[in-house]
Amino acid sequence: MNLNSISAFQDNYIWVLSDDEGRCLIVDPGEAAPVLTAIKKNHWQPQAILLTHHHNDHVGGVKELLQHYPDLVVYGPAETKNKGATNIVAEGDNVIILGNEFSVFATPGHTLGHISFFSFPYLFCGDTMFSGGCGRLFEGTAEQMYQSFLKIDALPEETLVCCAHEYTLANMKFAKSLLPHDSFINDYYNKVNDLRAKNEMTLPAILKNERHINLFLRTQDPDLIAVINRETNLQQPEARFAWLRAKKDNF
């Protein structure tokens, strides 16, 4: 399988997995035009669409794509039923596309019905985990997002985290502000800074690396706990997760 990315809007990525025959699946097409351009350029034959949640920058292009490719199967959570999903899937479901089995698991937090799709090594997690960060809590709670992060953290270390936005540099600035002397964070910040200066993408992220540089995966880390304890004494990791998300919201 070949992993491809299509830039959309200001900082979105629409992911495309294609096989050697040119068949492909499309993940979270927020707009159709750049996808149609890429299909024509690469001679792809779209087979399916995966939707992680209902926000328009992830589903806005579905209707137009279906006009061009009416036989496309669109997999998505219940909250995308009115956004073009033809096959509603939920935690525990498995779907086979292009000969690959994708497991579906619930990752609420950003929205209540948010799901992720995993077929090693590819994780399509929408707006749940970003490189160095996590999605905003528009509908769900910090507790829900923490549990979603535990599910992702249980995946193999070589998992490629294919998230939907180029937020890495902002996330690393936040991480650096809390742990300015952390070598992993500093090294990754410098790498990301160089990539973005050349307008190059920082994704997909590797889960093994995220475990070092993503503060939302480090709620049990003594260094981070010490920083949090300067302001408050939180005993539970989910409470520390909530503290981090609130801190990032105001960063």
Per residue in 168-203, pLDDT (tens digit) is: 999 999 999 999 999 999 999 999 999 999 999 999
Average pLDDT over residues 48-60: 97
Whole-number pLDDT of residue 183: 96
Find the mean pLDDT for residues 120-145: 97
C-alpha 194/C-alpha 26 separation (Å) is 29
The chain-wide mean pLDDT, for the chain, equals 96
pLDDT at 154: 98
| 247: confidence class by pLDDT, cuts 50, 70, 90 | very high
If phi > 0 it is left, if psi is from -120 to 50 it is alpha, else beta; for residue 109 that is left
d(CA 23, CA 46): 6
Calpha distance 129→138 (Å, rounded):
14
pTM of the predicted structure, to 2 decimals: 0.96
Instruction: List the one residue out of 9, 11, 58, 64 whose CA is nearest residue 39.
Output: 64
In this prediction, residue 63 carries a pLDDT of 96
Q: What is the pLDDT of residue 226?
A: 95
C-alpha to C-alpha distance for 141 and 159, rounded to whole angstroms = 25
- Please say whether the dihedral angle defined by the alpha carbons of residues 76, 167, 159 and 224, taken in this order, is positive or negative: negative
Chain length of the chain = 251
**Two structure tokens written together for 106:** 């619930």
